A and B are shown apart, each in its own frame.
Chain A
Amino acid sequence: MKKIGYYPGCSLLSSAKDYNASIHAVFDKLGVVLEEVEDWICCGASSAHVTDDLLALALPARSLALSERAGLSDLLAPCSACFSRLLLASERMKGDEDLAHSVNAAIDPLHYQGTVEVKNILDVLVNEVGIPEISARLVRQLDGMRVVAYYGCLLTRTMRIPPFDDCEDPQSMDRILAALGAEPLPWSAKMDCCGGSLGLSEEGLTQGLCRNILRAARDVGAEAMVTTCPLCQANVDIFAYKHKDEDISMPVLYLTDLLGVALGCHLKGSHWRKKFIDPTGVLKRHALLS
């Protein structure tokens, strides 16, 4: 059995508990053991990097050091923000000895040597598990459900680090969805920003972003949007819920929700009630829920 380090991040313990549950169910079916980094801490998200560069490195470095100490050389961070912060911290420390020294001084007696490979969930599914392996384990097909793959901004914008997928037109999630028997539609907003943390502090500024994303999905005839980022899910789902009258709302699912259905994972009825826009109608229409 394959083993990989797991960094759930704060969202997956609260607002995105359902994402955490479906990830565990899916990886269990795929025969991958997720070993959670013991005593991991918050990555600092946007709040650290907009206020203090060293803090934005030191917070992820603590968790990276713990991962390294536990012998977890591959670390899966399902949240795009966590992934971005952990990856950038790891790579900047690897490439700059003086910087690594300053960060390590701030986290002492912990020490990060730079041996951890930070991975996002699409990278792990496509390159570690592999689409043929996923296909071989499917118990049902998704009946041509018309979906749009919403990647959000940070997943492939890894700056000076080669991305795992194209940074303007990624395909990995579309390929997985096609393998599940869904119909991933080409659309224009797959990399558009949902507003991130400003969705909470300056809602007025980010509403237009969520509206454009939903409109683009509606324009190509999508029945549901699929994402791997808890912040994208929350921002778009909550916007759709608050603006039901605009007739652009649609369910925003995690990729692992659909993978779970196709792999025959047991996801409880309450699982689907975590979303603001109820996805059970779409699932029933395709005979994917009894």
Chain B
Amino acid sequence: MEQGSAIRTDKVLQGAGFSRWLKEASGEDVFRCYQCLKCSTGCPMAEAMDILPHQVIRMAQLGRGEELLHSETIWVCVSCYTCSIRCPNDIHIAHVMDALRERALKEGIPPKRERVVLFHQLFLASIREYGRVYEAKLLAKYEAKSGELMKNIPLGVAMFLKGKIALLPHKVANIKGVRETFTRLEEGEEG
């Protein structure tokens, strides 16, 4: 029997339990990494990260979950998959980032890049309401809540004049079914 297997790994933010949880949640074996740094050298967002991709994987091996979940990196990663496609050990690093982000949100850890999370939340709310993204309302809400209202008004007006913003939402016929999918997944998490 594996030592310490009685520990609920989904409750641990630090140590071997966290490493095991991450492997389980992401399906990625971070222990294959031998620190070649290819992920970090190719990352277009490396400049804005506080922990570089290869360091994320090393810290994941060491179980340093607290630092990873509080990092700026997880919200700066754009999921372009450059790291994943180049990893010589076939670690889908961007998918590891997804697992870290999902966990950080579940733990209620305040994101270092609040506006990124706000945007994603409003985007998903739009799908839940209409089945498709209603860009006009999404952008208006985002501008209002992010406190960047004045900054993007000229661009919004220009887009509107070019007919690039649909005025009315495209609500799907089976919106009930879409909402049920959201609800079921939420209930699944609570249960």
For window 57-79 of B, CB contacts with A under 8 Å fall at: 76, 78-79
Bound-state CA distance A13–B134 (Å) is 10
Bound-state CA distance A105–B184 (Å) is 9
Chain A contact residues (Cβ within 8 angstroms of B): what range?
A: 35 or more
Cβ distance B7 to chain A, nearest Cβ, rounded Å: 23
Collect the chain A residues with CB atoms within 8 Å of residue B85's CB: 157, 159, 167-168
Cβ distance B89 to chain A, nearest Cβ, rounded Å: 13
Contact A42 B127 (CB under 8 A): yes
Flag whether B159 is at the interface (Cβ < 8 A). yes
Residue-wise interface mask of A (91-124) relative to B, using a CB-CB cutoff of 8 A (1 in contact, 0 not):
0000000000000011101100000000000000
For window 149-181 of B, CB contacts with A under 8 Å fall at: 155, 158-159, 162-166, 170, 172-174, 177-178, 181
Contact A49 B81 (CB under 8 A): no
Select from chain A the residue with minimum beta-carbon distance to B84: A159
Cβ distance B99 to chain A, nearest Cβ, rounded Å: 7
Contact B164 A274 (CB under 8 A): yes
Collect the chain A residues with CB atoms within 8 Å of residue B131's CB: 39, 41-42
For window 73-121 of B, CB contacts with A under 8 Å fall at: 76, 78-82, 84-85, 90, 92, 97-99, 101-102, 105, 113, 115-116, 118-121
Bound-state CA distance A276–B158 (Å) is 9
Collect the chain B residues with CB atoms within 8 Å of residue A167's CB: 85
Contact B184 A49 (CB under 8 A): no
Collect the chain A residues with CB atoms within 8 Å of residue B90's CB: 160
Given the interface pairs A53-B98, A167-B85, the reply to whether A208 lies near B47 with Cβ below 8 Å is yes
Residue-wise interface mask of B (121-163) relative to A, using a CB-CB cutoff of 8 A (1 in contact, 0 not):
1011011000111011001001000100000000100110011
Cβ distance B27 to chain A, nearest Cβ, rounded Å: 9
Collect the chain B residues with CB atoms within 8 Å of residue A287's CB: none
Contact A14 B98 (CB under 8 A): no
Residue-wise interface mask of A (189-208) relative to B, using a CB-CB cutoff of 8 A (1 in contact, 0 not):
00111011110111001101
Bound-state CA distance A48–B105 (Å) is 12
Flag whether B45 is at the interface (Cβ < 8 A). yes
Flag whether B1 is at the interface (Cβ < 8 A). no
Collect the chain B residues with CB atoms within 8 Å of residue A109's CB: 177
Given the interface pairs A157-B85, A205-B45, the reply to whether A51 lies near B105 with Cβ below 8 Å is yes
Bound-state CA distance A51–B163 (Å) is 31
Collect the chain B residues with CB atoms within 8 Å of residue A54's CB: 185, 188
Cβ distance A253 to chain B, nearest Cβ, rounded Å: 15
Contact B184 A50 (CB under 8 A): no
Flag whether A47 is at the interface (Cβ < 8 A). yes
Q: How many residues of B contact A (CB 8 A)?
A: 59
Residue-wise interface mask of A (38-67) relative to B, using a CB-CB cutoff of 8 A (1 in contact, 0 not):
011110111111111111101100100000
Residue-wise interface mask of A (11-23) relative to B, using a CB-CB cutoff of 8 A (1 in contact, 0 not):
0011111000000
Residue among B119, B123, B139 with max Cβ neighbours from chain A (10 Å): B123
Bound-state CA distance A238–B164 (Å) is 12
Contact A201 B172 (CB under 8 A): no
Flag whether B34 is at the interface (Cβ < 8 A). no
Collect the chain B residues with CB atoms within 8 Å of residue A45's CB: 123, 133
Bound-state CA distance A110–B131 (Å) is 15
Flag whether A177 is at the interface (Cβ < 8 A). no
Bound-state CA distance A110–B176 (Å) is 13
25 contacts between A and B (CB under 8 A): A10-B135, A39-B173, A41-B131, A41-B172, A42-B127, A46-B79, A47-B120, A47-B121, A47-B123, A49-B98, A51-B105, A51-B120, A55-B182, A55-B185, A59-B127, A59-B181, A106-B184, A157-B81, A157-B85, A159-B81, A196-B78, A198-B78, A200-B142, A202-B115, A202-B116
- When A and B form their complex, which 5 residue pairs have the shortest distance between CB atoms, in order from nearest? A193-B80, A201-B119, A47-B123, A153-B80, A47-B120
Add 7 more A-B contacts to A47-B120, A50-B79, A51-B101 (CB < 8 A): A42-B131, A47-B124, A51-B120, A52-B102, A105-B184, A196-B80, A197-B120
B-side residues, CB < 8 A to A, are 25, 44-45, 47-48, 76, 78-82, 84-85, 90, 92, 97-99, 101-102, 105, 113, 115-116, 118-121, 123-124, 126-127, 131-133, 135-136, 139, 142, 146, 155, 158-159, 162-166, 170, 172-174, 177-178, 181-182, 184-185, 188
